[in-house]
Amino acid sequence: YVFIMHCNTAPFDNNDLRMALKLAINREEMLNKVLRGYGSLGNDFPINASYPLFTEIEQRKYDPDKAKFHYKKSGHDGAVLLRTSDVAFPGAVDAAQLYQQSAAKAGIKLEIKREPGDGYWNEVWNKQPFCASYWGGRSTQDQMYSTAYLSSADWNDTRFKRPDFDKMVLAARAELDEAKRKQMYHDMAVMVRDEGGLILPMFNQFIDATGPKVGGWVDDPHQELMNGYALAKCWMEA
């Protein structure tokens, strides 16, 4: 569950403003109220402990004073428009309202625009510079970064376009030394976290239910309902 900013579009082309908006979100409150605790805190990069070669990075916390500092340093004045919709992710409208309240304590005025669900993924996501979005996990860190953070990626929805980052992705993909590769992914995560346009307050858990008469069920960490294959691969036993 994320909010995305276009790094190449004013006013979000200013990293101090991006940092202010990252510090102005109360992740714990959002996790408890939107996900009812069924998730984990996000840290503004798209990887968590489910991925191979994951390394811990200091958790970013809600800090209105630091957010206010970076907001003032950015020189931006006036409201910041955030677009959201019921279809962005479950609870996205409520999440935007919570964000608006926590940002206000840092002196940042978020203007929330609730967009219709019809056409949101065609007309708002990957087109408007600040909006709510949702990303499912990928099998590897390389796949996640290649899909959404390479400069050439069609789904680079934060417009994070850095030649030095691109080189790191390609180098990590070819690195056979696991320790070196793990460090590369750590460095990539820090770069996205501190300089990118991703605000990732929380990861959701998938909650599935099955029963003794359901045959063929296997746990799949990628998506709900066996990564979407449950209806094709499961059956009711007599």
pLDDT digits (tens, 9 = 90+) for 22-47: 999 999 999 999 999 999 999 999 99
- Cα–Cα nearest to 155, from 190, 116, 121: 121
Q: Which residues pair with 203 in a beta bridge?
A: 40
Tokens representing residue 130 in the block: 């600040």
- Cα–Cα nearest to 43, from 93, 85, 2: 2
Percentage of the chain lying above the pLDDT 90 cut? 91
Q: What is the mean pLDDT of the chain?
A: 96
Q: What single string gives the DSSP state of each residue in 183-210?
A: HHHHHHHHHHHHHSSEE--EEEPP----
Q: Which residues pair with 222 in a beta bridge?
A: none
pLDDT digits (tens, 9 = 90+) for 56-85: 999 999 999 999 999 999 999 999 999 999
Tokens representing residue 187 in the block: 């460095």
90 in Cβ contact with 219 (< 8 Å): no
Domains of the chain from N-terminus onward: 2-205 (3.10.105.10), 211-238 (no CATH)
Provide the 10 A C-beta neighbour count for residue 210. Answer: 14
Q: What global pTM score does this model have?
A: 0.91
pLDDT of residue 207: 84
Provide the 10 A C-beta neighbour count for residue 219. Answer: 8
In this structure, the chain runs to a length of 238
pLDDT of residue 219: 86
- Per-residue confidence at 206, pLDDT binned at 50, 70, 90? confident
Q: Which amino acid is at 96?
A: A
pLDDT of residue 135: 95
pLDDT digits (tens, 9 = 90+) for 157-196: 999 999 999 999 999 999 999 999 999 999 999 999 999 9
Per-residue pLDDT at 222 exceeds 80 = no
